[in-house]
């Protein structure tokens, strides 16, 4: 009679984020040589682990977007920022040069009228750069939102593919950017108008009232802007990824940020502060060195015009890539905030994990970011 031996059943691995049942030493456990059997970490197919995003992970991933797909992200930022800055410099510069020459050559009896007309033309010339800036900013934001969403799933799209997808949601996103800009301008105009009206009275009480309105009105406008921007921070991602209209996106963003206002505001402020500090670290030394170099090379100012042109060129060479990096990082942070909110409130991480698993097995599954119509979610615009 021969003894037979059968290995014990292997333990069933737990789902990610769950602890397995206690096991004997020969089955694996906290004292076994394979500690991984005791806990399954969340999958990380791409940019971030598929779980609610921690504060540090969110900050790090905002910058990692640049490194993971630099041609599509930094390249897009570089193209958009270069187009905006070059068009602004060329149009505003040419119009300003023409206006100053026109004022200088105007007869004395017509100088006031010519000056007023030139100032008006100069103001109107800003319409083209402002419009280009709105469209370019919306396009870049759509591109980065798409890149973050696909990178989270482990996908890597080329620049052309990202731009083609972003173009389908360009106009709703441009409209939203325009509405934000107009709301801010109206707020500034209202406060400035009240201040001017009070100061124009001429007495001490009016001047004091005008100063107080300017200070407290400015603080109130800043607080209102921060509140509205935070509550609507998910709007660009909702427009691009869930294909909602502006009104539906604002309503849904307001709901998603409920309960996470201060966390969202903190991330936005910290990312903005980091970007500004880095920008100043890069640009300030170069500006100082260029100023000192100009004085040393041309102490008499004989080549003041050439120095001015060279200064503009150097400033653009430095400002364009810095602005591109800043725009990409801040847009990535906004997209990651949206993903984090949906993971925490709607279990999006589970949907993304299912999508990754299904696609790896060759399955044909719908876009996990879209909420199916008729499921009680938000209909597509």
Helix, strand, or coil (residue 39):
strand
Residue 163 pLDDT class (50, 70, 90 cuts): very high
The arithmetic mean of pLDDT across residues 230-249, rounded, is 93
In tens, the pLDDT along 301-313 reads: 666 666 677 777 7
* pLDDT, mean over the chain: 81
Evaluate if residue 275 carries a pLDDT over 50: yes
Tokens 């970011």 correspond to 369
The arithmetic mean of pLDDT across residues 253-275, rounded, is 92
Task: Put residue 243 in one of left, alpha, beta given phi > 0 → left and psi -120 to 50 → alpha.
Answer: left
Evaluate if residue 91 carries a pLDDT over 60: yes
Q: What is the pLDDT of residue 22?
A: 43
Q: What is the pLDDT of residue 281?
A: 87
Q: Which residues contact 65 (CB under 8 A, 6 or more apart)?
A: 47, 73, 144, 147, 148, 151, 328, 329, 332
| Residues β-bridged to residue 39 | 19
Q: What is the pLDDT of residue 315?
A: 78
Residue 121's alpha-carbon distances to 189, 270, 301, in angstroms, are 21, 40, 32
The arithmetic mean of pLDDT across residues 273-296, rounded, is 79
Could you tell me the two tokens for 123?
């103001």
Low-confidence winner among 83-87, 143-147, 291-295 (lowest mean pLDDT): 291-295
Q: Look at 24 and 324; give whichever has higher pLDDT.
A: 324
Q: What is the pLDDT of residue 298?
A: 62
Residue 381 pLDDT class (50, 70, 90 cuts): very low
Could you tell me the two tokens for 223?
């607080």
Could you tell me the two tokens for 106?
């105007």
Residue 44 pLDDT class (50, 70, 90 cuts): confident
Q: Look at 371 and 52; give whichever has higher pLDDT.
A: 52
The DSSP code sequence of 188-234 is HHHHHHHHHHHHTT-SHHHHHHHHHHHHHHHHHHHHHHHHHHHHTTT
Evaluate if residue 36 carries a pLDDT over 70: no
Cα separation, 11 vs 29, in Å, equals 10
Contacts for 7-15 with beta carbons within 8 Å, 24 or more apart?
A: 11/37, 13/37, 13/40, 14/39, 14/40, 15/40
The arithmetic mean of pLDDT across residues 71-94, rounded, is 88
Evaluate if residue 143 carries a pLDDT over 60: yes
pTM for the predicted model, two decimal places = 0.79
Residue 3 pLDDT class (50, 70, 90 cuts): very low
Name the percent of the chain lying above pLDDT 90: 33
Could you tell me the two tokens for 19?
């602890």
């Amino acid at each position: 009679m021969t003894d037979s031996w059968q290995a014990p059943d292997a333990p069933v691995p737990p789902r990610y984020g769950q602890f397995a049942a206690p096991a004997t030493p020969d089955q694996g456990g906290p004292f076994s040589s394979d500690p991984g059997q005791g806990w399954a970490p969340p999958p990380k197919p791409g940019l971030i682990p598929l779980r609610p995003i921690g504060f540090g992970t969110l900050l790090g991933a905002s910058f990692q977007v640049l490194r993971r797909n630099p041609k599509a992200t930094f390249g897009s930022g570089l193209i958009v920022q270069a187009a905006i800055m070059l068009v602004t410099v060329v149009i505003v510069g040419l119009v300003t040069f023409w206006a100053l020459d026109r004022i200088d050559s105007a007869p004395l009896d017509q100088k006031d009228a010519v000056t007023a007309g030139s100032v008006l033309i100069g103001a109107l010339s800003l319409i083209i750069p402002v419009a280009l800036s709105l469209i370019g900013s919306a396009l870049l934001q759509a591109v980065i939102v798409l890149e973050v969403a696909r990178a989270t799933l482990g996908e890597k799209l080329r620049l052309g593919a990202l731009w083609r997808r972003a173009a389908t949601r360009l106009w709703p996103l441009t409209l939203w950017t325009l509405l934000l800009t107009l709301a801010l301008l109206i707020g500034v105009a209202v406060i400035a108008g009240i201040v001017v009206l009070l100061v124009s009275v001429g007495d001490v009480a009016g001047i004091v009232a005008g100063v107080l309105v300017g200070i407290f009105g400015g603080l109130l406008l800043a607080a209102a802007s921060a509140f509205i921007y935070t509550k609507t921070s998910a709007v660009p991602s909702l427009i691009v990824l869930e294909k909602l209209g502006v009104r539906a996106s604002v309503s849904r963003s307001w709901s998603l940020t409920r309960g996470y206002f201060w966390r969202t505001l903190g991330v936005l402020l910290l990312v903005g502060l980091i970007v500004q500090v880095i920008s100043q670290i890069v640009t300030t030394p170069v500006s100082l060195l260029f100023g000192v170099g100009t004085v040393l090379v041309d102490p008499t100012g004989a080549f003041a015009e050439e120095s001015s042109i060279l200064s503009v060129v150097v400033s653009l060479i430095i400002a364009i890539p810095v602005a591109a990096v800043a725009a990409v990082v801040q847009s990535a942070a906004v997209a990651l905030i949206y993903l984090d909110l949906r993971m925490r409130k709607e279990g999006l991480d589970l949907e993304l994990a299912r999508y990754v698993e299904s696609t790896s097995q060759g399955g044909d599954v719908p876009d996990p970011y879209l909420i199916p119509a008729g499921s009680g979610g938000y209909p597509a615009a």
